[in-house]
């Protein structure tokens, strides 16, 4: 039997909440100083498994949600570069959104749209009650195919770097 400390518990809860995460996401969001050492212990105890270089899932999980990884890229970016305005909470959502977060007394819903999914997501988002939507696209030229009748912000994510347009 293995015992876990509070830092390891925070890491496990984060991965359990979102299903998948990069180590870099947790370094930015959880602010645990010796997170690399904590990961080595969790991997040794077979609580966490590295799927790729720095992508973690709970041991026993076989799913790798790439859309969630992109959503967490956005969350970790906004968490660090927030201009002094903290993100008070963030949670996973169901289709058409991937995550939702609360910041500056406003709820933001995040949709990750791959090429070819523009029409399906546009109609689903238009039917929903969301007021503020952040859309993460694979390519900038996808914006032409997005037909959302709400206040939206669009961005792309390349290797963890966000580009808003």
Locate the domains of the chain by residue range.
Answer: 6-58, 66-164
Pick the CATH number of 66-164 from 1.10.1760, 3.40.1350, 3.40.50, 1.10.3470: 3.40.1350
Output the pTM of the full model. Answer: 0.92
Q: Which tens digit of pLDDT belongs to each residue from 81-134?
A: 766 788 999 999 999 999 999 998 999 999 999 999 999 999 999 999 999 999
In the sheet that holds 132-137, the strands lie side by side as: 87-92, 99-103, 106-113, 132-137, 151-158, 161-164
Q: Are 97 and 111 in contact (CB under 8 A)?
A: yes
Q: Are 137 and 156 in contact (CB under 8 A)?
A: yes
Q: Which tens digit of pLDDT belongs to each residue from 41-92?
A: 999 999 999 988 889 999 888 778 999 999 999 999 998 776 678 899 999 9
- Domain 6-58 of CATH type 1.10.10: yes
């Amino acid at each position: 039997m293995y015992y876990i400390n509070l830092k390891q518990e925070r890491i496990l809860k984060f991965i359990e909440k979102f299903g998948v995460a990069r180590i870099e996401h947790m370094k930015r969001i959880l602010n645990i100083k010796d997170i690399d050492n904590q990961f080595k212990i969790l991997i040794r105890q077979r609580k966490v498994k590295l799927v790729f270089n720095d992508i973690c899932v709970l041991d026993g999980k076989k799913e790798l949600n790439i859309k969630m990884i992109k959503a967490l890229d956005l969350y970790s970016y906004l968490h660090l570069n927030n201009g002094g305005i903290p993100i008070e909470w963030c949670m996973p959502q169901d289709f058409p959104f991937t995550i939702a977060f609360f910041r500056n007394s406003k709820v933001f819903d995040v949709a990750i749209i791959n090429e070819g999914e523009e029409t399906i997501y546009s109609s689903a988002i238009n039917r929903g009650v969301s007021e503020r939507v952040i859309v993460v696209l694979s390519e900038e030229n996808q914006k032409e195919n997005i037909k959302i009748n709400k206040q939206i912000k669009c961005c792309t994510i390349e290797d963890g770097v966000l580009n808003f347009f």
